[in-house]
Amino acid sequence: MKSSALFLSLIKRLTTSVFVLFLTVSFLFVLVRIAPGDPSQKFLSPNLSPQLVERVKSSFQLDKQIHEQYISFLKNALTGDFGVSYSFHRPVNEVIAEVLPFTILFSLSAFILQLIGGLLFAVLAFRYHQKFWDKFLSRGSLFLYAVPSFVSGLFFVYLFSVQLQIFPSSGIKTVGTLENNYFFLLLDYAHHLFLPVLVLSLTGLPVYFKYFRENFEENQNKLFTLYLRANGISERKILFSHLIPNSLNSIIAYAGVDLGILFSGALITEVIFSLPGMGRLAVGAILQRDYPLIIGCTLTAGVLIILTSLLADLIRLKIDKRLIKGLLN
């Protein structure tokens, strides 16, 4: 495959993605406005004057027709301006940019942990095929998969924060201390993020474990494995040099989408551990009818899912060049 063909395919894929994002945002723009409730509701209070509600509606442009609002939105969006958040009173881009680095760090840590954990446990299960460890890990992973994150989250908080008092129960850092010492600051972040990352990864870890294990089992009976074994290649070499690389292809495709979803926010974990992530931001925006922020969060999540999925496909392509036609169309 020539590089120009690859480039054209990439352009085609990106164009389609932009069109999908445009349709999603347009649909959402109309949907949130015709849905019950509006952002001025929070100004309906015994302590506030009814005239204020009218002023706010006018300043949010909610007194205009939907198509007028939409045209105005499109004009601004083309210049990269997605409006000012009704609840943060700052540009949407700025609000999202504030939580996005944390979300990426948090999600990426959980993603790496579940990927490495899944692989390690799958290797262990494979090594002890049909023995105690294999059965224990298979059943244990099923159990972990079935436990919702709010249960595991509360359990870990109870065990590690309340009883053992090893980890803090919320936040990303100790509030108001350790400001000037970067080493302790780093340690403090790790200290606070240990439990949330563990809880978030526990839901994905069994999936990766299952993927890897199934793939090892499937590939170990294929002709190439039998051939390697017949040639006296050690089991260790077969596993690390052949079975694992051959399993990666389908796992990377899943991991690409999974990482994108993780980047869009992990609401339950964020709420339990009071973390400032995309999930909390998006749900807060929905509950407060913060229309510009809802659109901003959706767009960000969409872009991240498309990018991670594309990245996964490019990695797969690097591993196996035969996939190019299917992947980039």
Partner 1 sequence: MFIVWKNIYIFFLLLVTIFVGCKKISTDNNTQVVIAIPSDIERINPLFSYSVNEGNISELLFLSLVKHSWDDKTGDIKTEPMLANSWEWNSDSSAITLELRNDVHWSDGVLVTIDDVIFSFDVYSDPVVESYLYGSFKCFYTNNDNHIIAERTFEKISETKLKINFAPGSTPSLFTLDFPIVPKHVFDKMPRKEIATAKENFSPVTSGPFTLEKWEKNQAIIIKENPKSFLHKDGNVKRIIFKVIPDYNARLTQLKNGEVDLAEYLKPEDVNGLKNTGSLVVTSLKGREYDYLGWNNLDPVQFKKNHKIVPNKLFGSAKVRQALSMAINRNEILSEYLQGYGELANSPISPIFKNAIDEKLQPYVFDLAKVKTLLAEEGWIDKDQNGILEKNGVEFNFTLTISSNNPRRIFAATVFKNTFKQLGIEMNIEQLELGMLIDRINNKSVDAWMASWIIPIPLDLKFSWYSNLATTPMNFPSYQNKELDALLDKLETKISWQQKNEIYKKIEAILYRDQPVTFLYWIDNIVAYNKKIKNIEVTPLGTVHHCWLWQ
Residues that bind partner 1 (CB under 8 A): 36-38, 41-53, 55-56, 59, 84, 87-90, 98-99, 124, 127, 154, 157-158, 161-162, 165-178, 184, 187-188, 190-191, 194, 271-274, 276, 280, 284, 287, 289
Phi and psi torsions of 84, nearest 5°: -105, 135
Q: Report, in Å, the least distance between residue 13 CB and partner 1.
A: 35
Give the nearer residue to partner 1 in terms of CB position, either 23 or 151.
151
Q: Report, in Å, the least distance between residue 115 CB and partner 1.
A: 16
**DSSP percent split of the chain into helix, strand, coil, nearest 5:** 75, 0, 20
> Is 225 in contact with 243 (CB distance < 8 Å)?
yes
Give the nearer residue to partner 1 in terms of CB position, either 167 or 211.
167
Q: Report, in Å, the least distance between residue 224 CB and partner 1.
A: 24
User: For the packed helices 182-220 and 92-127, what is the interaxial angle rounded to 10 degrees?
Assistant: 50
Q: Report, in Å, the least distance between residue 89 CB and partner 1.
A: 5
The DSSP result for 169-201, as a single string, is SS-SS-TT-S-S-HHHHHHHHHHHHHHHHHHHH
With CA atoms as reference, report the closest residue to 121 among 104, 157, 145, 146: 145
Q: Report, in Å, the least distance between residue 14 CB and partner 1.
A: 33
Length of the chain: 329
> Is 328 in contact with 9 (CB distance < 8 Å)?
yes
Give the nearer residue to partner 1 in terms of CB position, either 39 or 204.
39
Give the nearer residue to partner 1 in terms of CB position, either 49 or 76.
49
DSSP three-state, residue 21: helix
Could you tell me the two tokens for 146? Answer: 């079935």
Distance CA 33, CA 70 (A): 10
Give the nearer residue to partner 1 in terms of CB position, either 169 or 246.
169
Give the nearer residue to partner 1 in terms of CB position, either 126 or 252.
126
Q: Report, in Å, the least distance between residue 110 CB and partner 1.
A: 16
